[in-house]
Amino acid sequence: MNELRRRFILFAAAVIVIVAVILLFTVPFIVDQTEQALVLSFGRPVRLVERPGLSFKEPWQSTITYDKRLLDYEPPAEEVIAADQKRLVVDAYCRFKIVNPLLFFQTMGTELVARTRLNSVISDSLRRVIGGVELQAVVSSKRAAIMRQIRDEVNDQAKGFGIDVVDVRIRRADLPEENSKAIYERMIAERQREAAQFRAQGAQQSQEIRAEADKERIEILANAQKQGQILRGQGDADSTKIYAQAFEQNPGFYAFYRSLQAYRQALDGSNTTFVLSPQNEFFKYWNGAPAPSSGK
């Protein structure tokens, strides 16, 4: 009998320990300061725990936690058409916060489902808003207003999911690759056209400068030749005047001097042959004619 009691006591103690261990691991739970928790009873939410720290639940109940910080979501880039029929590849991102865990659990369940749903909402809003404006507006100062409009539209729909969309930003809005290539080729052609125009203008200016320089050169040479002829004429006139004055002072000596110059030029050793009579006037000073004196 005592042995039976002892075994019963040991069994009861073991059951109590097992139950205590089970309760220790199933009843208390810890909520991190960055999280908020829902207590579920057979899959149905019964309580929201927002205070961080140690909390308790029934052993058959479970918990699900959601991050209460700002969360980022980057939907894949997609192609949209602006109001002027220009195609754009838009790369956006979203920042949101779970503000109603109960509603979020009932509508979304998990963050993965929420991100998938946000992707659809953001895509629809991008197409609708950008489809109502021209390409120039997307890349101008109006871009901030466009992003605010997209954020407000996405937030209005996300409120039904227990989500508060804090921001939606367009990080990049580029033309599709085939459009970009065509635009780059058109830009290159335009720059080449401008370069050709500048070269033509430069060539025209160069020709004008050369023509002006040639004109000035011709004028300078003409003026120099004119001035040289004038000076040469004045020199000839002065020379003639001096010769005349010398001739007046002693005509005989002047005639003798001119004859000597004629002899020098004629008999300069160039093998020139003269056929002249010895009595020619050219040889009068060789035939014994006296040389005149240099005095008067």
pLDDT tens digits for range 2-58: 677 777 677 767 777 776 666 555 667 788 888 898 888 887 888 888 888 887 777
pLDDT (average), residues 277-296: 59
Nearest to 157 by CA among 109, 101, 108: 108
Q: Is the pLDDT of residue 65 over 50?
A: yes
Q: Is the pLDDT of residue 293 over 60?
A: no
* Mean pLDDT value across the chain: 79
Give the integer Cα–Cα distance in Å for 60 and 184: 66
pLDDT band at 62 (very low <50, low <70, confident <90, very high): confident
For residue range 198-230, list pLDDT tens digits in order.
888 888 888 889 888 888 888 888 888 888 888
DSSP 24-73: HHHSEEEE-TTEEEEEEETTEEEEEE-S-EEEE--TTEEEEEEE-S-EEE
pLDDT of residue 296: 46
Q: Is the pLDDT of residue 196 over 50?
A: yes
Which residues neighbour 174 within 8 Å (Cβ) at sequence distance 6 or greater? 88, 89, 91, 180
Half-sphere exposure of 277 (CA within 13 A, CB side): 3
Domain layout of the chain by residue ranges: 2-67, 71-175, 250-296
Angle (nearest 5°) at CA 141 between 137 and 144: 90
- pLDDT over 70 percentage in the chain: 74
| Phi, psi torsion values for 130, nearest 5 degrees | -65, -30
Q: Is the pLDDT of residue 159 over 80?
A: yes
pLDDT of residue 164: 92
Output the pTM of the full model: 0.53
Ranking 24-33, 58-67, 116-125, 172-181 by mean pLDDT, the lowest is: 172-181
The domain 71-175: what is its CATH number? 3.30.479.30
pLDDT (average), residues 234-242: 80
